[in-house]
Structure 1
Amino acid sequence: MDYFRNIIQKLGIDGALFFTLIYRGLQATGALFTIVFIAAFLNKEEQGYYYTFGSILAIQIFFELGITAIITQFVAHETASVSFHNYKMKGNPLASSRLSSLLRFCINWFIIVCLLLFVTLIIVGFIFFNTFNTSSNINWQFPWVILCFSTAVNLFYIPLLAFIEGLGYIKIASKIKATQQFVLILTSILFLLLGLGLYASPIALLVSCAIPPLYILFSKIKLLLKQIWNDLSIYKVNYFKEIFPLQWKVAISWASGYFIYQLFNPIVFAKDGAEVAGRVGMSLAVINGILTISLSWMNIRIPQLSKLIAQRNFTELDIVFRKNFKNANFFSFLGLFISVVFIIILNYFSFSLGKRFLSVIPFCIMAFCAFINQFIGGLAIYLRCHKKEPLLIYSFVIAICTATFFMIVGSSNGLMGIVWSYFFITTFISLPWVIYIYITKKKQWHTQLY
Structure 2
Amino acid sequence: MKSGHQALFAILAQRSWQAISGAVTVVMITTFLDVHEQGWYFGLLSLAALYTIFDMGLSLVLVQTAAHEFIGLSWLKNGHIHGPRARRFEALAAWAVRHYAWLALAFGLIVTPFGFWFFSAAPSKGPTWQMPWVILTAINAASLVLLPFLSLVEGSGGIREVYLVRLLQTVAGALLCWIALAGGLGLGAVVMPASAGIVIQGIWLWQRKSRLVRSVLATQIGPTNWRREIWPHQWQIAVSWLSGYMLTQLYIPLLFAVQGAAVAGQMGLSLTLSNMLGLLALSWITRHVPDMANAVAGGDWDRFRIQCRRDLILSCLAFLGGAAVLCIVHKLAPSHYTDRVLPFWTFAGLLLSGFLNHIQTSLATQLRSFRREPLVWILLAGSTLTAAAAAWGAVHYSSGGVVAAMLSVQLLLSTPASILLYRRCIGRWRQGLTTSLPVPGRN
Per the shorter chain, which TM-score range?
over 0.9
1:132 to partner: Cα distance: 2.0
Cα distance in 2 for partners of 1:316, 1:381 equals 16
Contact 1:97 1:228 survives alignment (8 Å): no
Give the alignment partner of residue 439 of structure 1, picking from 416, 423, 426: 423
Name the Cα RMSD after superposition.
2.1
Cα distance in 2 for partners of 1:368, 1:419 equals 10
Give the alignment partner of residue 281 of structure 2, picking from 285, 290, 294: 294
1:80 to partner: Cα distance: 2.5
Give the alignment partner of residue 66 of structure 1, picking from 41, 54, 57: 57
Contact 1:188 1:204 survives alignment (8 Å): yes
Are 1:222 and 2:210 matched, yes or no? yes
Give the alignment partner of residue 279 of structure 1, picking from 260, 266, 269: 266
**1:18 corresponding residue in structure 2:** 9
Q: 1:132 is paired with a residue of what secondary structure?
A: coil
- Structure 1 pair 149/411, CA: closer, same or farther in 2 (3 Å)? same
**1:206 corresponding residue in structure 2:** 195
Alignment of 1:230-309 (within 5 A): 236-309=223-296
Q: 2:70 is paired with a residue of what secondary structure?
A: helix
Residue type of the alignment partner of 2:152: F
Contact 1:100 1:230 survives alignment (8 Å): no
Give the alignment partner of residue 134 of structure 2, picking from 134, 140, 145: 145
Residue type of the alignment partner of 2:404: W
Normalising by the residue count of structure 2, what TM-score does the alignment of the two structures yield? 0.92
Are 1:28 and 2:19 matched, yes or no? yes
Contact 1:26 1:182 survives alignment (8 Å): yes
1:364 to partner: Cα distance: 0.4
Residue type of the alignment partner of 1:400: T
Question: Which moved further from structure 2: 59-68 or 118-127?
Answer: 118-127
Cα distance in 2 for partners of 1:439, 1:342 equals 37
Structure 1 residues without counterparts, runs of 5 or longer? 1-7
**1:82 corresponding residue in structure 2:** 73
Question: Which moved further from structure 2: 102-111 or 152-161?
Answer: 152-161
Contact 2:90 2:212 survives alignment (8 Å): no
Cα distance in 1 for partners of 2:360, 2:90 equals 34
Cα distance in 1 for partners of 2:218, 2:290 equals 23
Q: Deviations over 1:401-421 (max 9, x none)?
A: 111111123222222121111
1:36 to partner: Cα distance: 0.9
Cα distance in 2 for partners of 1:447, 1:228 equals 39
Residue type of the alignment partner of 2:105: L
Aligned length: 433
Q: Deviations over 1:10-29 (max 9, x none)?
A: xx971112111111112111
**1:412 corresponding residue in structure 2:** 396
Contact 2:45 2:190 survives alignment (8 Å): no
Contact 2:21 2:174 survives alignment (8 Å): yes
**2:186 corresponding residue in structure 1:** 197
Alignment of 1:239-388 (within 5 A): 239-346=226-333, 350-388=334-372
Contact 1:283 1:358 survives alignment (8 Å): yes
- Structure 1 pair 31/368, CA: closer, same or farther in 2 (3 Å)? same
Contact 1:48 1:275 survives alignment (8 Å): yes
Give the alignment partner of residue 37 of structure 1, picking from 28, 40, 48: 28
Cα distance in 2 for partners of 1:312, 1:24 equals 31
Normalising by the residue count of structure 1, what TM-score does the alignment of the two structures yield? 0.91
**1:429 corresponding residue in structure 2:** 413
Q: Deviations over 1:331-354 (max 9, x none)?
A: 1111111001111112xxx53111
Cα distance in 2 for partners of 1:81, 1:226 equals 22
